[in-house]
Amino acid sequence: MLLRLITCLFILTQAPTYAADFEGLHDDGKWEFIKEKKGFKVYSRPMPGSNVLGFKVEGYIDAPIIDIMSTLRDVNLSKEWQPDLLEKVTIKDLGDLEAITYSRVDMPWPLDDRDYVIHNKLMVHKKKKLLFVLSKSVSKKGWESGRRAVRANIGYSNIGLRPAGEKKTYVEWTLFGEPNGNIPDWVVNFYQQTFPIKFFKHLAKRANKKKLPIPAGFKVILAELEEVLNEKDGRKVSSKPKK
């Protein structure tokens, strides 16, 4: 039951004040370190006009970046590894690097299920030297027909990836949101410190368990990321983690 609630707190969020285009990462670097757990560093910071904290989690997972990308992109198999996901459907496929999807997540009684429509896009951020999976809510009516669910919104959710070896990937996740419904702020702030770590662990396990087809667009954007990683005064730089 708690895992189901935690899932909703982080995947189903509402933050219309911060909803902007995909270029806006909403990350000025002003994060306060909280703790380190299971190899991941956890940060938070207060957000203007809200009692809910923003959060950031970063670390390394033992899975190749290409398999992580393929796992995140495969809508049909999402229910096999994402906790309490009841359904996920592609509403509009915009190519290998972009799609609009509908999802519905199971919630513990007496809460209604949550559903959401999000626009997902991959992009390379040259300054941060990361490949981002950016997600935000978009308005799309009709998909809730016949379902008892509360429509939730994602202001922004940024998952950053960078290769750190042949079978290791640096990951970070930044997100700010206020869940719909009567979920206390303290519950959100308490569980936001651990859920991203569980999500990354599930993701790595799934990425290593099942090899998926690699879309052609992934190879192109990974080549773009590699070029960015190698740009430093004309010298090649390593993407391996520092000891």
By the 10 Å C-beta count (0-12 exposed, 13-18 middle, 19+ buried), 234 is classed as exposed
pTM for this predicted structure: 0.80
Amino acid at 194: T
Structural domains of the chain, with CATH: 2-229 (3.30.530.20)
Question: What's the confidence (pLDDT) of residue 44?
Answer: 86
Residue pair 220/157 in contact by the 8 Å Cβ criterion: no
Q: At what angle do helices 65-73 and 195-209 cross, to 10 degrees?
A: 100
- Round to whole Å and give the CA distance between 32 and 20: 24
- List the chain pLDDT tens, one digit each, 243 residues: 444 544 444 443 333 333 335 556 667 778 899 989 899 999 988 877 777 777 889 999 999 999 999 999 999 889 888 878 899 999 999 999 999 999 888 877 777 787 888 899 999 999 999 999 998 888 877 676 778 887 776 767 889 999 999 899 999 998 776 656 566 666 666 666 677 888 899 999 999 998 898 999 999 999 999 999 998 744 444 445 444
pLDDT in tens, 105-147: 887 777 778 788 889 999 999 999 999 999 888 887 767 677 8
